[in-house]
């Protein structure tokens, strides 16, 4: 199955970590960029469609601005990103120009992905670029992004892009070989795991304990990204990008890296967007009867099953559903504001109009807008 996935994937999102192409001491590493461009060019020549999500802009800007340390304040980070982003794109442009490949820069924030219309616009733009044979190079728009609209790290962004473009495979290039049975620096007998069929709690714990990655992400963010895109049906390969020729070799079926398999029953694009892109604005607490109706019988959420409301939200906002033990088990788009829900929680459907007047919806969350997590 591993060979089939890797050799047959046509549309691939490749995330390039900052440690591969930039360092605080020297700024950008043009030799590395040219090598990776050559390997990606070879994949395209073999009929693959490739999109790049690239880190490295801030590190490049740090060197150019002469900063001694990584920026601690948001304005300085944004200034470094503004300087470094243009240098990073120029390096990519020159590297791919030698191969006769045109590139395009795409800058995104979480706000672009959380708005469904902007999400679809980005999807159509990327599809058009691919259709023209242009190689999209994507990064977070760090120059303007603040915490409220940031994706946060490029592993997560790469996962979002894989969903955005209906990729067949997400490849995360970093400076380690993949996921090991244990930390190989502490235990030389640790072995690389070539295939991870399912991301269990044990796998997540092992990734969280890893400290072998540099940058804003780590193995934990890579495994989280793999878990999210796996729900959409996209497998993830983590592989060492420092080893020349390894990427095309692995995609040709050679050993290397760790492949995280996807779930067989994939979420639709819209439900994946609800589950993993949108950030919840509040919580609704449910009784056990409502939990069973949603999780086991595929029903919509009604007001009668709600025991409590937390947070402030408006109709149309994303909220999470909590079971009687306080565990998150579902997420959806709510049809009532938090103020309205506090007035009608626990009521039968026919009693809601007495409290709120005529309503467009009977369901608090319709099953088409609900995802069981």
Reported pTM? 0.81
Residues of each domain in the chain carrying CATH 3.40.1160.10? 2-271
| pLDDT over 70 (residue 33) | yes
Report the percentage of the chain scoring pLDDT > 90.
Answer: 61
Give residue-wise pLDDT tens across range 90-107: 999 999 999 999 999 999
Report the percentage of the chain scoring pLDDT > 70.
Answer: 94
Q: Environment class of residue 184 by beta-carbon count within 10 Å: exposed (0-12), middle (13-18) or buried (19+)?
A: middle
User: Residue 216, annotated ligand binder?
Assistant: yes
User: Residue 337, annotated ligand binder?
Assistant: no
Give residue-wise pLDDT tens across range 136-146: 999 987 666 55
Question: Cα(37)–Cα(32) distance, rounded to whole angstroms?
Answer: 8
Average pLDDT value for the chain: 89
Burial 251-280 (b: 16+ CB within 10 A, else e): beeeebbbbbbbbeeebeeebbbbbbbbeb
How would residue 281 be classed by pLDDT, with cut points 50, 70 and 90?
very high
Q: Which residue has the higher pLDDT, 111 or 316?
A: 316
pLDDT of residue 142: 62
User: Residue 219, annotated ligand binder?
Assistant: yes
Question: Cα(38)–Cα(115) distance, rounded to whole angstroms?
Answer: 36
Question: Cα(214)–Cα(222) distance, rounded to whole angstroms?
Answer: 12
pLDDT of residue 103: 98
User: Residue 282, annotated ligand binder?
Assistant: no
Question: Cα(118)–Cα(104) distance, rounded to whole angstroms?
Answer: 18
Q: Coil, strand, or helix at residue 122? A: helix
pLDDT of residue 213: 31
Q: Which residue has the higher pLDDT, 26 or 15?
A: 15
pLDDT of residue 217: 53
Give residue-wise pLDDT tens across range 58-68: 888 888 888 88
Say if CB 246 and CB 240 are below 8 A apart. yes
pLDDT of residue 101: 98
Residues of each domain in the chain carrying CATH 2.30.130.10? 280-372
User: Residue 220, annotated ligand binder?
Assistant: yes
Query: Mean pLDDT across the stretch 147-168?
Result: 81
pLDDT of residue 216: 45
CATH class of 280-372: mainly beta
Low-confidence winner among 44-48, 72-76, 127-131, 320-324 (lowest mean pLDDT): 72-76
pLDDT of residue 282: 96
User: Residue 327, annotated ligand binder?
Assistant: no
CATH class of 2-271: alpha beta
Say if CB 339 and CB 301 are below 8 A apart. no
**CA of 283: how far to CAs of 165, 167, 265, 317, in Å?**
30, 32, 27, 11
Give residue-wise pLDDT tens across range 182-209: 877 788 888 999 999 999 888 888 777 5
User: Residue 218, annotated ligand binder?
Assistant: yes
End-to-end CA distance of the chain: 26
Backbone angles phi, psi at 332, to 5 degrees: -165, 175
pLDDT of residue 160: 92
User: Residue 187 contacts by C-beta under 8 Å, 6 or more apart in sequence?
Assistant: none
User: Residue 175, annotated ligand binder?
Assistant: yes
Question: Got the DSSP string for 231-265?
Answer: HTT--EEEEETTSTTHHHHHHTT-S-SEEEPPPSS
User: Residue 139, annotated ligand binder?
Assistant: no
User: Residue 166, annotated ligand binder?
Assistant: no
How would residue 288 be classed by pLDDT, with cut points 50, 70 and 90?
very high
Question: Cα(87)–Cα(56) distance, rounded to whole angstroms?
Answer: 10
How would residue 359 be classed by pLDDT, with cut points 50, 70 and 90?
confident
């Amino acid at each position: 199955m591993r060979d089939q996935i890797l050799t047959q994937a046509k549309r691939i999102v490749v995330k390039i970590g900052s440690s591969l192409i930039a360092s605080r001491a020297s700024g950008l590493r043009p030799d590395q960029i040219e090598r990776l461009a050559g390997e990606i060019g070879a994949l395209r020549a073999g009929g693959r469609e490739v999109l790049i999500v690239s880190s490295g802009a801030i590190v490049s800007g740090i060197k150019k601005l002469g900063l001694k340390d990584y920026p601690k304040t948001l304005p300085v980070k944004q200034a470094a990103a503004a300087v470094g982003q243009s240098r990073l794109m120029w390096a990519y442009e020159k590297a791919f120009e030698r191969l006769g490949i045109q590139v395009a820069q795409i800058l995104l924030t979480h706000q672009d992905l959380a708005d469904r219309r902007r999400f679809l616009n980005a999807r159509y733009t990327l599809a058009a670029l691919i259709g023209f044979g242009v190689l999209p190079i994507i990064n977070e728009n760090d120059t303007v992004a603040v915490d409220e609209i940031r994706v946060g790290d490029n592993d997560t962004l790469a996962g979002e892009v894989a969903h955005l473009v209906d990729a067949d495979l997400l490849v995360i290039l970093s400076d380690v070989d993949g996921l090991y049975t244990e930390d190989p620096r502490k235990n030389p007998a640790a072995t690389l795991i070539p295939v991870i069929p399912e991301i269990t709690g044990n796998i997540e714990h092992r990734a969280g304990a890893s400290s072998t990655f540099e940058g804003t992400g780590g193995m934990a963010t890579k495994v989280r990204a793999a878990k999210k895109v796996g729900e959409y049906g996209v497998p993830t390969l983590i592989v060492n990008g420092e080893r020349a020729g390894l990427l095309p070799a692995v995609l040709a079926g050679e050993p290397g890296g760790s492949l995280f398999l996807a779930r067989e029953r994939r979420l639709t694009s819209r439900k994946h967007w609800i589950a993993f892109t949108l950030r919840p604005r509040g919580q609704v607490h449910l009784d056990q009867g409502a939990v069973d109706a949603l999780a086991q019988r595929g029903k919509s959420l009604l007001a009668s099953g709600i025991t409590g409301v937390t947070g402030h939200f408006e109709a149309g906002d994303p909220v999470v559903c909590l079971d009687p033990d306080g565990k998150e088990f579902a997420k959806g788009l709510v049809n009532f504001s938090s103020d309205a829900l506090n007035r009608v929680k626990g009521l039968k459907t026919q009693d809601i109009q007495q409290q709120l007047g005529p309503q467009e919806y009977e369901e608090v969350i319709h099953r088409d807008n609900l995802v069981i997590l």
